């Protein structure tokens, strides 16, 4: 036990003396969460549009007012002819053009039908789709309000309500996802580098020729970094709560305990990676490349798991981030208790134990 404590003390010296790495360890998560939170978002805001209003009557004006006042759109240009549409897309930042046919109000009144054309810039397919849908929604809304007194036979009234995230804020999705991604990357990097560094400096050689057991070294490397990675988790949660307004509806204690579990898992994974590589560079490549993309793609962070082919869905089960994201969403957004996340907790715990056992088994007690 004294040996383990001595080892941990040494690790703590390493951590706090290398203040440059320390700044990176804390700076990168903060920077990334801010970047992800602000930049990577599906929410529409201030999309620049143009209008070609060939009718200019009270209905078209009312519809345009409604669209502009929604906050999603900004009117950038009023076009005069169809010929101007293409140049407007090419030169300006215009993402959408709305065209009203002539005598819009009149036709609507007389025939009960008038034509409106939405042209969206689909060079970014998702955004184009989103813009068109939003516009459509606003127009339908207008019509419903306008003619609510008129009874149309056989209408289905549709009322939407979105539970847990009523405003459909993308940040609710991105903060848990980014947190899972950053924590696993940083934590694996910390331990895998710290062990391979000893191999490179030659100090591992002396540690091997000593009565230290593999588990002394492995636990001694994981323990001090738990505190470091955990403080990272707390910083991200604080940023999510105060900067992005992501709620914490469930138990904070449960949230923190789950975070400790998740970082321990990532740190053990880092140790396991260090048993596979002899240099800091290899360890870094494995930690970054082998983890980053699968975690982003397969954890449900960006693409919904339910939409994936069955085989890929099974594959996602081995991604630790998938289970942690699920825990985060349950606790933070839905406010669920332990009864709803026990399965995830068990999976994360078993993965941690597995990696530690594998690392101890694979740990080379000699130089070859």
Partner 1 sequence: MSIIKVHKLFKSFGDVNALQEIDLEVNASEIFGLIGPDGAGKTTLFRILTTLLIPDSGSANVCGFDVVKDYKEIRKRVGYMAGRFSLYHDLTVQENLSFYATVFGTKVSDNYELIEDIYSHIEPFKNRRAGKLSGGMKQKLALSCALIHRPELLVLDEPTTGVDAVSRTEFWDMLQKIRKKGISIIVSTPYMDEALKCDRVGLMLDSKILSTEQPENISKHHKNLLYSVKSLANNYIFLKALREQEWCRSAWLFGQTIHLGVNKDIDEIQLKKELRGMKDFESYEKISPGIEDTFIELMGVKGPDN
Residues interacting with partner 1, by CB under 8 A? 2-3, 5-7, 9-10, 13-14, 17-18, 201-203, 205-212, 365-368
Nearer to partner 1, 18 or 106 (CB): 18
Query: Which strands make up the sheet holding 116-120, listed edge to edge?
Result: 73-78, 47-53, 96-100, 116-120
Measured from the CB of residue 368, what is the shortest distance to partner 1 in angstroms? Answer: 6
Nearer to partner 1, 225 or 230 (CB): 225
Measured from the CB of residue 214, what is the shortest distance to partner 1 in angstroms? Answer: 12
Nearer to partner 1, 7 or 134 (CB): 7
Nearer to partner 1, 20 or 45 (CB): 20
Nearer to partner 1, 35 or 207 (CB): 207
- Which tokens belong to 120? 């969206």
Nearer to partner 1, 14 or 56 (CB): 14
Measured from the CB of residue 209, what is the shortest distance to partner 1 in angstroms? Answer: 4
Measured from the CB of residue 347, what is the shortest distance to partner 1 in angstroms? Answer: 36
Measured from the CB of residue 217, what is the shortest distance to partner 1 in angstroms? Answer: 10
Nearer to partner 1, 30 or 208 (CB): 208
3-state secondary structure the chain: CHHHHHHHHHHHHHHHHCHHHHHHHHHHHHHHHHHHHHCCCCCCCCEEEEEEECCCCHHHHHHHHHHHHCCCEEEEEECCCHHHHHHHHHHCCCCEEEEECCCHHHHHHHHCCCCEEEEECCCCHHHHHHHHHHHHHHHHHHHHHHCCCCCCCCCCCCCCCCCCCCCCCCHHHHHHHHHHHHHHHHHHHHHHHHHHHHHHHCHHHHHHCCCCCHHHHHHHHHHHHHHHHHHHHHHHHHHHHHCCCCCCCCCHHHHHHHHHHHHHHHHHHHHHHHHHCCCHHHHHHHHHHHHHHHHHHHCCCCCCHHHCCHHHHHHHCCCHHHHHHHHHHHHHHHCCCHHHCHHHHHHHHHHHHHHHHHHHHHCCCCCC
Measured from the CB of residue 17, what is the shortest distance to partner 1 in angstroms? Answer: 4
Measured from the CB of residue 288, what is the shortest distance to partner 1 in angstroms? Answer: 24
Nearer to partner 1, 133 or 203 (CB): 203
Measured from the CB of residue 203, what is the shortest distance to partner 1 in angstroms? Answer: 5
């Amino acid at each position: 036990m004294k040996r383990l404590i001595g080892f941990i003390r040494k690790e703590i010296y390493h951590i706090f003396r290398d203040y440059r790495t320390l700044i990176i360890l804390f700076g990168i998560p903060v920077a990334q969460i801010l970047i992800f939170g602000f930049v990577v978002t599906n929410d529409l805001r201030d999309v620049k549009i143009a209008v070609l209003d060939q009718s200019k009557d009270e209905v078209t004006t009312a519809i345009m007012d409604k669209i502009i006042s929604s906050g999603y759109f900004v009117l950038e240009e009023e076009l005069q002819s169809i010929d101007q549409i293409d140049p407007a897309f090419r030169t300006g930042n215009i993402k959408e053009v709305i065209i009203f046919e002539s005598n819009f109000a009149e036709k609507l009144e007389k025939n009960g039908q008038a034509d409106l054309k939405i042209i969206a810039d689909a060079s970014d397919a998702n955004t184009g789709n989103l813009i068109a849908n939003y516009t459509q929604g606003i127009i339908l809304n207008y019509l419903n309000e306008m003619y609510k007194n008129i009874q149309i036979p056989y209408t289905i009234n549709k009322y939407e309500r979105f539970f847990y995230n009523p405003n459909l804020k993308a940040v609710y999705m991105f903060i848990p996802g980014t947190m899972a991604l950053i924590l696993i990357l940083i934590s694996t990097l910390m331990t895998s580098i710290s062990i391979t560094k000893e191999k490179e400096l030659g100090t591992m050689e002396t540690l091997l020729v000593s009565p230290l057991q593999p588990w002394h070294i492995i636990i001694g490397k994981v323990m001090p970094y738990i505190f470091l990675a955990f403080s990272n988790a707390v910083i991200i949660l604080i940023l999510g709560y105060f900067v992005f307004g992501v709620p914490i509806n469930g138990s904070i204690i449960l949230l923190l305990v789950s975070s400790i579990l998740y970082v321990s898992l990532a740190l053990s994974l880092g140790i396991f990676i260090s048993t596979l590589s002899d240099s800091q560079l290899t360890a870094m490549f494995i930690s970054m490349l082998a983890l980053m993309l699968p975690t982003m793609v397969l954890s449900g962070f960006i693409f919904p798991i339910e939409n994936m082919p069955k085989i890929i869905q099974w594959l996602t089960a081995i991604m630790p981030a998938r289970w942690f994201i699920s825990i985060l969403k349950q606790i933070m957004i839905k406010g669920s208790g332990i009864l709803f996340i026990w399965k995830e907790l068990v999976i994360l715990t078993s993965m941690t134990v597995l990696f530690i056992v594998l690392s101890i088994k694979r740990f080379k007690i000699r130089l070859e």
